[in-house]
A = this chain, B = another copy of it.
């Protein structure tokens, strides 16, 4: 078989920025890096792209390995290709951001990797250019969420509107009017109200809702959300 002669070859990796929402806070999942260099430093979860897989598949594999979850919302963020970003050897990294329901991952796996959830505003210093990746991921998440209802990916099956609003406010780093928010979100037809109420945070209680999966799927064809 022929080859393209004299062209340099590189390692290609994927790195995942994994977002979750818990306790009214937006969080991301970090791991203690298990190989040199920078072993035992905090880092994004990543891995090399194998010979038989696409970068997308590699990211899904990495995510499965860490959380046990499949079919997670995953989107290309950017490609990071500074020649010297990895001091050992040139490695291009394809960055992805993922949204998961924080209550669904497998604790055991997380422990194996010495992984931990960090509130988005309390991140430690990360290896290489990973802090930059996180910053770009936040920006992209904010933008994307303003047009697509992807934030539901981070909520449990049953959730309340005030809970949803907290998530929106965290992502957008802003406050909004509760009345208007409630109306706007229910008017989308994306939510189905359940009988049950959550009374943990108020006397009156807030109704639980679940996602209308049909409208949710359809909404991905259309654009522009809130």
Residues of A within 8 A of B (CB): 1-4, 7-12, 35-37, 48-56, 76, 78-79, 81-83, 88-92, 94, 143, 146, 223
Please report whether the interface of chain A is mostly helix, strand, loop or mixed according to DSSP: loop
By the criterion CB–CB under 8 Å, are B10 and A10 in contact? Answer: yes
Which residue from B12, B55, B83 sits with its C-beta under 8 Å from A51?
B83
User: Which residues from chain B contact A76 at a C-beta distance below 8 Å?
Assistant: 78-79
**Cα A91 to Cα B10 with chains together (Å):** 10
Which residue from B3, B83, B94 sits with its C-beta under 8 Å from A89?
B3
Q: With A11-B9, A12-B10, A92-B55 given, is the CB distance from A49 to B81 under 8 Å?
A: yes
By the criterion CB–CB under 8 Å, are B51 and A4 in contact? Answer: no
Given contacts A9-B10, A52-B83, A79-B79, 9 further A-B pairs with CB under 8 A are A1-B88, A1-B89, A3-B89, A4-B48, A8-B48, A8-B51, A10-B10, A51-B90, A81-B94
User: Which residues from chain B contact A52 at a C-beta distance below 8 Å?
Assistant: 83
User: Which residues from chain B contact A81 at a C-beta distance below 8 Å?
Assistant: 12, 49, 54-56, 94
By the criterion CB–CB under 8 Å, are A12 and B92 in contact? Answer: yes
Report the minimal beta-carbon distance from A183 to chain B, rounded to whole angstroms: 21
By the criterion CB–CB under 8 Å, are A4 and B89 in contact? Answer: yes
By the criterion CB–CB under 8 Å, are A54 and B36 in contact? Answer: no
Which residue from B88, B91, B94 sits with its C-beta under 8 Å from A79?
B94
**Cα A11 to Cα B12 with chains together (Å):** 9
Report the minimal beta-carbon distance from A17 to chain B, rounded to whole angstroms: 16
**Cα A92 to Cα B12 with chains together (Å):** 9
Report the minimal beta-carbon distance from A207 to chain B, rounded to whole angstroms: 32
Which residue from B37, B48, B82, B146 sits with its C-beta under 8 Å from A7?
B48
By the criterion CB–CB under 8 Å, are B2 and A88 in contact? Answer: yes
**Cα A88 to Cα B10 with chains together (Å):** 17
